[in-house]
Amino acid sequence: MTGVGAAPTLGAPADDGVRSAAARRPKPRSVLGYWRLYLAISPFYLLFLCFGLIPVGFSLYLSFHRWDGLGSMEYAGLSQYRYLLSDSQFWNSLTNTLIIWAIATLPMLFIALVTAVMLNSAVRFKNFYRFAYFLPNVTSVVAVAIIFTSIFSTNFGLANAVLQGLGLDQVAWLNTDWGIKVSIAVLMTWQWTGYNALIFLAGLQTIPSELYEAARVDGAGPVQTFFRITVPMMRPIILFALVVSTVTGLQSFTEPQVLLANTNNTSTFAGGPGNSGQTMVLYFFQQSFDNNDFGYGAAIAWGIFLVVAIFSIVNWRLVQRGEK
């Protein structure tokens, strides 16, 4: 592909500047004349076709069949979806996912907003603070989960050592229903609060300072200012953060998988004792790659897709209403 001297066969520049003359419009010519442009964007679409579109279509086909990945496929109709609706382990994983998401996300967004407000009014060491707060987010989830396994360990964990030091009863964090959920939520909150604080900080910097001046003149205190001015003005960005943490939170996998890895006896995707930390995606992996039940796995994947889609639409509605 030689580009030299090929000017006439190129598409015209996009007209996002001031459109000066009709001369800028592309001369009508056959689609083939644009082959260089199509070639340049083709890698993405080829990869998408092979590893995106065909797989998605195939997983739809698969969800109507029973298949262990080796033998022949057997048509199953809607039976796997029907089974999904009555599968108590799937409902358990959905409940787990929502509980963990709620106890992680809501405090996370609140702490992040407060942190951002404080950062916004700090003059010195701003870059240092931003750096320190963002560090947890770039750390790999696997490493973070390993670190938190040691903190929440029943025998030697720091969390229990602190409880013991305070004269309180120890908690088997990674062995009880709520202990597991709280541990996963704490891990997520630790990892994502700083990221959200930085996003909020960028948003705060777009709020005109006259608003704060006016509030101060009217005698509003910091708490009042926070709830009367900051929160309403930040609404679109808070909703953006909510959307992002919903989509990622509903698909959590690595956190529970690594955190509960050495309490699992049956499967690496079990989510700890009593499946208390088994999220939807963990259950998907368990059925697909531990039980080799590819057909049912595909049906679960579509179930997860539906849940994520519903939550995204609800979030989207909230955003829309906020913009009115």
Partner 1 sequence: MKGMKGTRARGLTLHISLIAGVLVSLFPFYWTIVMSTHSSTEIFQYPPKLLPGSHFDENVHHLFQKIDFFGSMFNTLVVAVSVTFLVLFFDSLAAFVFAKFHFPGRRALFVIMMGIFMVPAQLQAIPQFVIMAKLGWIGSLTSLVIPAAANAFGIFWMRQYMKGSIHDELMDSSRLDGCGFLRQYWHVALPVVRPGLAFLGIFTFMAQWNDYAWPLIALINPDHVTLQVALSQLNSVNGTTDYGMVMAGALLALIPLLVVFFIGARQIMADLAKGAIR
The tokens for 211 are: 């608003």
Q: Torsion-angle region of residue 77: left (phi > 0), alpha (psi -120 to 50) or beta?
A: left
Q: C-beta of 228: minimal distance to partner 1 in Å?
A: 19
Q: C-beta of 156: minimal distance to partner 1 in Å?
A: 5
Q: Torsion-angle region of residue 4: left (phi > 0), alpha (psi -120 to 50) or beta?
A: beta
Asked if residue 186 binds partner 1 (CB under 8 A), the reply is no
DSSP of 90-112, one letter per residue? HHHHHHHHHHHHHHHHHHHHHHH
Asked if residue 289 binds partner 1 (CB under 8 A), the reply is yes
Q: Total residues at the site for partner 1 (CB under 8 A)?
A: 113
Nearer to partner 1, 193 or 276 (CB): 193
Query: Per CB under 8 A, which of residues 220..259 are in contact with partner 1?
Result: 237, 240-241, 251, 253-254, 257-258
> Which of the ranges 82-90, 95-103, 144-152, 270-278 carries the binding residues for partner 1, by CB under 8 A?
144-152
Q: C-beta of 130: minimal distance to partner 1 in Å?
A: 6
The tokens for 82 are: 């029907």
Sequence-distant (≥ 6) Cβ neighbours of residue 207 within 8 angstroms: 229, 230, 233, 234
Backbone angles phi, psi at 74, to 5 degrees: -130, 125
Asked if residue 262 binds partner 1 (CB under 8 A), the reply is yes
- The DSSP element (H or E) to which 36 belongs, if any, is helix 35-48
What is the dihedral sign for C-alpha 299, 289, 281, 92? positive
Query: Per CB under 8 A, which of residues 80..139 are in contact with partner 1?
Result: 115, 118-119, 121-122, 124-125, 127-136, 138-139
Nearer to partner 1, 100 or 281 (CB): 281
Of 84, 94, 98, 147, which lies in the binding site for partner 1, with binding defined by CB under 8 A? Answer: 147
Q: C-beta of 253: minimal distance to partner 1 in Å?
A: 6
